[in-house]
Amino acid sequence: MIAIALVLAAAQATAPTLTLGEVDARQDRGAALKLAARVLPPEVAARVVEGTVRRQWLPGQVWWIGFRERARVAGADLCERQAHSVEAAAAQAANEAPADTVLTVGAPRSWVEAAVLPPGTRATPAACETAAFIAIPEDGARQVAAYRVLVAAMAAARGRARLPFAVTCRAEKPQACADARAALATLPMDALGGIGVSCLDEEKRRDVHGAGGAIISCPPPVRGARYQAEVSFGMSGDDGQSWRAGFVHRAGWPAEIALRRSMVIYH
């Protein structure tokens, strides 16, 4: 027990720390970048070009600090960039804590983000700098494919030709869906949050376990198989609501793109 306590004490002693005043004052991109050298390995901090600080609404003082490297061309219409984040927290601090409150910084996390450019737009360093990125898993081919469907469908909706797919729209405030095609054409890409994929309902498995428990799961993805995609957006517009766009990904156009607009509580 003494040895464990010594190890924990040593870990706490070497963990980076920030004060609440340092974190809370760095809400703009330029100032947040100054934190990179304090919380990231030197070789990573040297590549960072953008930073964001956001409070997490959890007990105590918990802050998310995100960093992004410069975007790069990854394909004819594809951009990628590396992203990193740390959490700085004082779990026992008050909701309104003094500026000298010490926050302990956790270990950095890293992941890849991708962006697909609209049809006819070639990926260049300049185009990638202003693209709408989403985080993708290690095997993110299905998310990228769904992203391509989204941007192609939006481009088609902005045109004048008859759409090769149906568009449906549901909203808590009906005026948002007065023109479903226009809603699709103008989805707020600057608020793009992510793309989730899952198997279709008829492919889901119910794995029964002991004591009557069961877990619903999907079989491993098969190349070329259909799957459900849902694109999520952050809050947009004056009503504080958010868009969702869902469709079944398959070869060619989906049969339908279903739009929903509603209030979503973000934490």
Phi, psi of 95 (to 5 degrees): -60, -35
Domain co-membership, 107 together with 146? no
Length of the chain: 267
Question: What are 39's two structure tokens?
Answer: 């919380």
Lowest-pLDDT choice from 6-10, 58-62, 162-166? 6-10
> What integer best gives the mean pLDDT of the chain?
87
In a domain, 242, yes or no: yes
Domain co-membership, 87 together with 188? no
The model's confidence at residue 6, banded by pLDDT at 50, 70 and 90, is very low
The pLDDT tens digits for 216-225 are: 667 666 677 7
Lowest-pLDDT choice from 6-15, 104-113, 237-246, 254-263? 6-15
Confidence (pLDDT) at 111: 96
Number of domains in the chain: 2
Q: Rounded to two decimals, what is the model's pTM?
A: 0.82
In a domain, 86, yes or no: yes
Q: How does DSSP assign 127-168, residue by residue?
A: HHHTS--EEE-TT-HHHHHHHHHHHHHHHHHHSSSPPSSEEE
Q: How far apart are CA 248 and CA 229, in angstroms?
A: 6
The pLDDT tens digits for 123-174 are: 999 999 999 999 998 888 999 999 999 999 999 999 999 999 999 999 999 9
Confidence (pLDDT) at 29: 57
Domain co-membership, 112 together with 200? no
Phi, psi of 82 (to 5 degrees): -95, 140
Place of tokens 């808590």: 172
Instruction: For residue 17, give every residue at least 6 positions away whose Cβ sits within 8 Å of its Cβ, in sequence order, or none.
Output: 102, 103, 104, 105
Domain of residue 214 covers 139-262
* Beta bridge partner(s), residue 82: 112
Instruction: For residue 242, give every residue at least 6 positions away whose Cβ sits within 8 Å of its Cβ, in sequence order, or none.
Output: 191, 193, 232, 233, 234, 235, 236, 261, 262, 263, 264
In a domain, 127, yes or no: no
Helix (H, G, I), strand (E, B) or coil at 231: strand
